[in-house]
Structure 1
Amino acid sequence: AAHVYGLIGTLWALMQFVFSPLIGALSDRFGRRPVVLLSNFGLGLDYILMALAPNLAWLFVGRALSGITSASISTAHAYIADVTPAEGRAAKFGLLGVAFGLGFVLGPAIGGVLGTEDPRLPFWVAAGLSLANACYGFFVLPESLPPERRASFAWTRANPFGSLVLLRAHAHLLGMASILFLQNLAHVALPAAFVLYTAHRYGWDEGTTGITLAAVGICSMIVQGGLVRPAVRRFGERRALIAGLLAGAVGFAIYGLAPTAVLFWMGLPVMALWGLAAPALQSLMTRRVAATEQGRLQGANASLMGIGAMIGPTLFTKTFAFFIAGAAPFALPGAPFLLASSLLLAGAALALRHAR
């Protein structure tokens, strides 16, 4: 089961990597609204497919379609860049992070309750929510990208490798994209190793783990929803980015070295301050490209995140397995979190040079 779950997750990330630049380029050409609406409608149909799936192969097909349609997340970021002045984007990106965080906190809890009644019921509910979202957007969501600001479409740009040309074409943008990759790779340590680590080191059961993960999400939402705006206003995006990365590095170090659960929990508010980094970084990157390139930029960013989602689970679980095995030179079950901490430190070093 764990092997199948890993394959499904990798397939989803692969679809994100491949299709995010395409969807970003399409949104630059045809506008954000049709891309968002079609993606939500497609996601609803995908959940219906998974609810009706007669065998495991159809679940793989459904997850692939989910990865494709979920690539429109990049379009949501581009929409914010379209309608928000540069100085206010970090706060808006923070609010978008709150929305995603709320979904990550409530989604598994609701899905778990519904799944006890019928394992297919969560898919039906998700389908209904996605289709309702598409209908809401059809009647309410305005277009954010006027025709005069749209770009032509070219297949040479609408692919993961072509999107790298954009990142290399602007000063410091490739460096900031590297920061984005490092911090998203570090983030994979949480879903990949959190349950394994806390069960091994502290003997936590599912209930304790679930409560702690919910607390992580709530703390992160508080930071992204309430602290990003004042922090950026007072210190600027560059300093907020560096402070967030350093806080995340310290938080991961606390997680990896804490000998008791109490000390582990003390790391939660420190780790939450990492939430300053992503909105500040997104805002800095959007300043570097023209209005006609915001979709391509967000597509390229989503592709980099897809790479991290593909390699991260194996990287962190293998690291954990190695350092708890008898053949390891020394026992270090927190090694995945310490590795994530080092990735964020590397990101902070890059930010000192490239975050301008």
Structure 2
Amino acid sequence: MSSLFKRPGKAAFAFVLVTVALDMLALGVMVPVLPKLIVEFEGGDLQRAASIAGVFSFAWAFMQFLFQPVLGALSDRFGRRPVVLLSNLGMGLDYIFMALAPSLPFLFAGRLISGVTAASLSTATAYIADVTPAEQRAGRFGLIGAAFGVGFILGPAIGGLLGAHDLRYPFWVAAGLSLLNAAYGYFILPESLAPESRTATVLWRSANVIGSLDFLRRDRALALLAVAIFLSFLAHESLPSLFVLYTQYRYHWDAATTGWALAIVGVSQTIVSGGLVRPAVKRFGESATLVAALGFGAAGFAVYGLAPTGGIFMAAPPLIALWAMANPSFQGIATRVAGASEQGRLQGALASLRGVSGMVGPLFFSQILAASIAADAFSGAGYLIAALLLGASLVIAQRALRGRSPEGAKA
């Protein structure tokens, strides 16, 4: 190992958790207000706003789809730290741009820029893979989910309260948090990837969408897992695509109520990600934990779609939270296949899958809601489709896991 590089210790893991929490807090404060700002720009036309919100989400995910593999390959070559820092700086400046947006096209341009710069979560996941033994990764990925949840406990609640006064205020708060995160990382966050573990050059053949997705075909189990992960990602897109406008339409919730509801979702996820993933994986193994989590998620989406009242609707977050055990298990299994110098490309490839789902999902789910509003018909269909997607993910994941040795089970 190079004498100039000192491998990060346990404190570095804590630094990454703070980084992710601040990123999610910055993102979370905008969740209750961005669709409502679109409604405002459209003169109160809720049906048209639902369609436009889907286009916004598609555009953001398309930029992620194009640039995440590039950022993953760059992090394998130059290290995780510079990618995280530039990402946070770019997001902070972009939130300022969005706060000042005078019209819908400017707001749309801001979302495009945000899609390019929002890379820190996948890079943070690669960071954790760098500094964590394989058998402990699922548990630590669960803690990343907990940090994610902390951001969504505070973020939507703050965004809802600020948005009740002015829909622009949350964007300024998000900008400040992202710039603070960039400063925090510059002075405190150490590098995780040793020089000898980096690629000699940027592998441009995998730093593009086709090469990135082809990376996932190298192993049959990994390819099947990739399909299952994609379906899980696609189901997840129903949450940001539907939650705000669906609850406004069906239950007549305002921005503050929506913010508190999203905070409850964040609390539930944090409890599960921070407190249940590690003991569940230790007791039952990654595979059994994954299958159970997908089943809980499918049940939660069914409740979302069928709930006749807002109170019953809010009985679903605990079930959705248990689904949060799926991604750490997926990640833990997948990182065993990739080598030390490939973790960035793996996370870039998985981020590409998220990008595809982020392009397809918002358009699909938002158009279902828009059509339901136009026809004055049953509006919970999108959530029921999400439940079916998780059911399919469960079946494919079981095929991928068949015959695997139970790594991490009852360690």
Pairwise same-fold verdict (TM > 0.5)? yes
* Matched residue SS, 1:266: coil
Matched AA of 1:343 = L
Matched AA of 1:139 = F
Which deviates more, 25-34 or 89-98? Answer: 89-98
Which deviates more, 171-180 or 345-354? Answer: 171-180
Q: Which residue of 1 aligns with 2:362?
A: 313
Q: Which residue of 2 aligns with 1:153?
A: 202
Gap regions ≥5 residues in structure 1: none
Question: What is the CA distance between 1:39 and its match in structure 2?
Answer: 1.4
| 1:259–1:115 Cα change, 3 Å | closer
The answer to whether structure 1 residue 42 and structure 2 residue 73 are counterparts is: no
Q: Which residue of 1 aligns with 2:229?
A: 180
* Matched residue SS, 2:325: helix
| 1:42–1:276 Cα change, 3 Å | same
Equivalent residue runs for 1:328-339 within 5 Å: 332-339=378-385
* Deviations 1:274-308, CA, capped at 9 Å, x for gaps: 11111111111111111111101111111111111
Whether the aligned pair in 2 keeps the contact of 1:24 and 1:72 (CA below 8 Å) is no
| 1:153–1:350 Cα change, 3 Å | same
Equivalent residue runs for 1:34-183 within 5 Å: 34-53=82-101, 55-115=103-163, 119-151=167-199, 152-183=201-232
| 1:201–1:234 Cα change, 3 Å | same
The answer to whether structure 1 residue 226 and structure 2 residue 272 are counterparts is: no
Gap regions ≥5 residues in structure 2: 1-41, 43-48, 405-411
| 1:41–1:232 Cα change, 3 Å | same
Identical pairs, percent: 59
The answer to whether structure 1 residue 342 and structure 2 residue 388 are counterparts is: yes
Aligned residues: CA RMSD: 2.3
Aligned partner of 1:21 among 50, 69, 74: 69
Question: What is the CA distance between 1:22 and its match in structure 2?
Answer: 0.2
Which deviates more, 165-174 or 75-84? Answer: 165-174
Question: What is the CA distance between 1:183 and its match in structure 2?
Answer: 0.7
Which deviates more, 83-92 or 235-244? Answer: 83-92
Number of residue equivalences: 353
Equivalent residue runs for 1:205-224 within 5 Å: 205-224=254-273
CA distance in 1, matches of 2:122, 2:249: 36
Whether the aligned pair in 1 keeps the contact of 2:161 and 2:255 (CA below 8 Å) is no
Equivalent residue runs for 1:291-310 within 5 Å: 291-310=340-359
| 1:266–1:61 Cα change, 3 Å | closer
Q: TM-score, normalised by structure 1?
A: 0.90
Q: Which residue of 1 aligns with 2:34?
A: none
CA distance in 2, matches of 1:258, 1:242: 25
Q: TM-score, normalised by structure 2?
A: 0.79
